[in-house]
Structure 1
Amino acid sequence: MARARTRRRSTAVTAAAATAALLVSGCASYGVDPGADGDSGTVTYWMWEAAQLPAYQQCATDFEALNPDIDVLIEQFGWDDYWNKLFTGFVANSAPDVFVNHTSRYGEFAERGLLVPIDEQVEEAGIDLDAYVEGSADLWVGADGKRYGLPKDFDTIGLYYNREMTQEAGITEEEMETLTWNPQDGGTYEDVIARLTVDQNGVRGDEPGFDRDRVATYGLGLNSSGAFYGQTEWSYLVMTTGWWYMDAPAWGTEFNYDDPRFQETIAWWRGLIEKGYMPPLAFTEGGSMDQQMQAGRYAMATEGSWTVGTYGNLQGVDLALAPTPIGPSGERSAMQNSLADSIFTSSQVKGAAWEWVRYLASEECQSVVADAGVVMPALRSTTEASKESLSRTGLDVTAYTDQIEQGTTFPFPAVLNASEINSLMQSAMDNVMAFNAEPESLTAVNERLDALFE
């Protein structure tokens, strides 16, 4: 699951969606080179996370020592460049042998024959899929029932808050850990957001005389409008109402953005902007969530577990981590996601590529990643080491891990036609959050999404 991940996973997968659709469709037009099963030589490996590069470079060094006939060449690109280069590489048959893949993308890649299914290799290697954090391995079974990756990490959603600000506002840690929410009045979640909002005269959002047009600190930060899945923005709210994205757990063909529960949730969320408790959508261009937290512009931010290293190492600000609020269902909810490494169908060294993918998903490599304290690896056996490493930041990450252990997570919504869906919903949600359209306008957008599968 965050998931920026170097930009947020929740917002960045929407970048270059139109380009993605054009280039990936081009792959189908020109056919896909079947590649070769070479078991030695150089394996090119692409990733987007700069913070994780040292750990994976160490994995590559260790792997090469065990496999002297295979060299691993790692290349790292920023998020936007990463996907643009990958899409171009698919068309030009120059994509890397192995690359870090995202659940929002791999369905359409697999549908067009660009990825190698690894079911046989997994079975022959005797890999125990139950050894991974619950739910993470299932995310990588495509619409055709075939497996296209082994989980390398997992993530979920939590709530960072400025401890000094909550103390000054008279809000206890216990209150932060037991927040409630509903789409009618926002529950204690909105109460806290209002209390933590302070205007330039020092008046709080729940006090008489609060000036919503001259806010010094917003109670809740804003990542983006959330596109079609709202990973860190609104998914943790709407999922407590009994809503789901589509007509199937995954790979659905009819969507539910016309559901009153979804539209009511978005209306409440947008209402925070009207009240002055959350910044306008345009404000997100002024700096990342962590930068705004460090500057004291945001008192709280909902973010993915992949950001622990970033937030935990912010200087000059004392942060704590709370779980997502309890909703109308009586439970919390948080999206769970996982990244995996996929093999390009046209690779000339698919045998060697599989050995590298297998090693990336092994305890040997994931232990190295766990010790690095940047992200939480997917193997259960590395979880405690990962918690210990991440705790060096001073943050208690149980707000993330408890959600998975307590069964209050839900999987990233896997869809086909992801580029088109992203593009449509990004534009529609941006318009709603910019007050250029009402939440009810999503009903018409929902019809356009359904039409993609007719």
Structure 2
Amino acid sequence: MTMIRPVAALLASVLAGVACAVEVRYSMWDTTQLPAYRQCAADFEKANPGITIRIVQTGWADYWTVLATSFVSGTAPDVITDHLMKYPEFAKNNQIVDLMPYIRGDNIDTSVYAPGLYELWGRDGRQYGLPKHWDTVAMAVNMDHARKAGVTLAELQDMNWNPRDGGSFETIVRRLTLDAKGNNALSPQFDKRHVVMYGYQNPGHGGMMGQTDWSHFAVSNGFRFQDRPWDPNFHYDDPKLVQTLVYLASLPGKGLSAPYEHAKPLGSKAMFIAGKVAIVPEGSWMVTNFRDHARFAHAWVPLPVGPIGTRASMFNGIADSISSGSRVKEEAWKWVKYLGSTACQEVVASHGVVFPAIKGMTERTLEAHRAKGVDSSAFFTMARAKTFLAPIADNGGEVDHVISTALEAIWIGSGDPASLMRHANARANEIVKR
């Protein structure tokens, strides 16, 4: 009996410890980043034995619907992977926590993040997220097809474009576009009604951000979204943007891209992986996806130089926010702080999926990509080119709907582009100022 009592006491102590453990629920949408963040969670739990992390992954298409429902029902995760287009509304509705008291209380050095990323998540002295990675946009090219067409990597890396004739970009796209008889789009015999390989495909309408769809073309043509973050005046009626949209919308009519209504249900990513399109613009978060699914040689190349004389890319980032309804805010903050720390972001860099937000880690991600046979330096090239921030304002969801509706009309050739964007911009500005 004397030996049983200590064992019983030990068991009771262990059970008590388990009962006192705090669970932090963390939501994210990207499956390719799961392994990295599972490792971060395991490392965090070792350093914080009283806290467990439960990661819940939901695909992008359902993520925001599920999250909105959970906010209403009071079942929201403690920590969410947040987006610039969504967080202003969450903040306005008091659904996410101001992190500034925690940041000041723990003396967090926010200067470690790449310029602009931290500031995007703050307003009027409040802070709603800590950055965890940055991204830019480049172009993926089917190199097996490019070589057959006689298009070199050097040519692809040195493209330029303009809204009048498309520049060398359109010439290359024409060389890469093939009809059923093997004629490319430079040939007088080219049949645009029977295309088997499109030279280029826009991802979609792009919404108010146009991140991978049109923003890089438009900004390299002289367009700007706002004069500064949170400015209540958008410039979606800018003739430079209209020029850009008209040019991109003209590509299907030339047989160089699939019509919007045909490409929309398939998606440019699936079309590229299936070998139906030679060039697509995509974000750096797609490097691993394309590496794992494309069964042909492909390369990432910088975006074309535009009329203003430089390349341009949105410089964007994702951050983590704490739900206002969380009952474990202190533990949730510890997890958010860790997600934004060097320790976790080094793990993310080593997995080679995204570029961590902390300065100086880009080369580690490039090395991780190179070790897996991928040269992702085009994204770093874009980070050193002209970069611009995503548009951000109140009532972003409504603004996005208004701009998306106008863009879809342009893509399908319904209405005058200048008029559509003028009316959409006026309406967007009204919504922001409400």
CA contact (8 A) 2:142 2:279 kept: yes
Residue matched to 1:367: 346
Q: Does residue 438 of structure 1 match 2:430?
A: no
Residue matched to 1:33: none
CA contact (8 A) 2:284 2:354 kept: yes
Secondary structure of 1:151 counterpart: strand
Residue matched to 2:28: 47
CA contact (8 A) 1:40 1:351 kept: no
Distance 2:229 2:406 in 1: 22
1:355 to 334, 337, 350: 334
TM-score (ref. length: structure 2) = 0.91
Residue matched to 2:59: 78
Task: Tell me the CA shift for residue 252 of structure 1.
Answer: 2.2
Residue matched to 2:16: none
Residue matched to 2:220: 240
Q: Give the 3 Å change call, closer, same or farther, for CA 184–339 of structure 1 in structure 2.
A: same
Distance 2:79 2:50 in 1: 17
Q: What does 1:30-429 correspond to in 2, within 5 Å?
A: 41-142=22-123, 144-246=124-226, 248-404=227-383, 406-429=384-407
Residue matched to 1:14: none
Distance 1:297 1:219 in 2: 9
Unmatched runs of 5 consecutive residues or more in structure 1:
1-38
CA contact (8 A) 2:120 2:229 kept: no
Distance 1:288 1:216 in 2: 16
The code of the aligned residue for 1:341 comes to D
CA contact (8 A) 1:313 1:393 kept: no
Distance 1:40 1:256 in 2: 51
CA contact (8 A) 1:336 1:410 kept: yes
CA contact (8 A) 2:291 2:374 kept: yes
Task: Tell me the CA shift for residue 299 of structure 1.
Answer: 0.4
Task: Tell me the CA shift for residue 112 of structure 1.
Answer: 1.8
Q: Give the 3 Å change call, closer, same or farther, for CA 322–407 of structure 1 in structure 2.
A: closer
Q: Deviations over 1:163-189 (max 9, x none)?
A: 122222222222111111111111111
CA contact (8 A) 2:311 2:385 kept: no
Secondary structure of 1:371 counterpart: helix
Distance 1:173 1:53 in 2: 33
The code of the aligned residue for 1:398 comes to S
Q: Deviations over 1:222-242 (max 9, x none)?
A: 211111121101100110122
CA contact (8 A) 1:290 1:310 kept: no
The code of the aligned residue for 1:287 comes to L
Greater shift after overlay, 311-320 or 179-188? 311-320
Residue matched to 2:5: none
Length, aligned pairs only: 413
Task: Judging by fraction of residues, say which structure has more strand.
Answer: 2
CA contact (8 A) 1:49 1:76 kept: yes
Secondary structure of 1:153 counterpart: strand
Q: Deviations over 1:215-269 (max 9, x none)?
A: 11111022111111211011001101221113x3211222212211111110011
Distance 1:443 1:279 in 2: 27
Distance 2:223 2:264 in 1: 30
Q: Deviations over 1:342-400 (max 9, x none)?
A: 00112111111100000011111111111222222212243222111122342211110
Task: Tell me the CA shift for residue 85 of structure 1.
Answer: 1.4
Secondary structure of 2:293 counterpart: coil
Task: Tell me the CA shift for residue 285 of structure 1.
Answer: 4.0
Distance 1:87 1:373 in 2: 31
Task: Tell me the CA shift for residue 403 of structure 1.
Answer: 2.1
Q: Give the 3 Å change call, closer, same or farther, for CA 444–141 of structure 1 in structure 2.
A: same
Distance 2:63 2:139 in 1: 28
CA contact (8 A) 1:40 1:352 kept: no
Distance 2:114 2:21 in 1: 31
Q: Which has the larger radius of gyration?
A: 2
The code of the aligned residue for 1:156 comes to T
Distance 1:191 1:133 in 2: 36
Greater shift after overlay, 167-176 or 223-232? 167-176
Q: Give the 3 Å change call, closer, same or farther, for CA 391–287 of structure 1 in structure 2.
A: farther
Q: Deviations over 1:262-296 (max 9, x none)?
A: 11110011011111101111222453433322322
Q: How big is the alpha-carbon RMSD for the aligned residues of Structure 1 and Structure 2?
A: 1.7
CA contact (8 A) 2:204 2:267 kept: no
Unmatched runs of 5 consecutive residues or more in structure 2:
1-19
TM-score (ref. length: structure 1) = 0.87
The code of the aligned residue for 2:83 comes to H
CA contact (8 A) 1:141 1:148 kept: yes
Distance 1:286 1:104 in 2: 23
Distance 1:64 1:395 in 2: 32
The code of the aligned residue for 1:168 comes to K
CA contact (8 A) 1:40 1:349 kept: no
Secondary structure of 1:338 counterpart: strand
Secondary structure of 1:380 counterpart: coil
By relative contact order (CA 8 Å, sep 6+), the higher-ranking structure is 1
CA contact (8 A) 1:180 1:189 kept: yes
Distance 2:181 2:412 in 1: 26
Distance 1:231 1:362 in 2: 27
Residue matched to 1:12: none
Identity %: 37
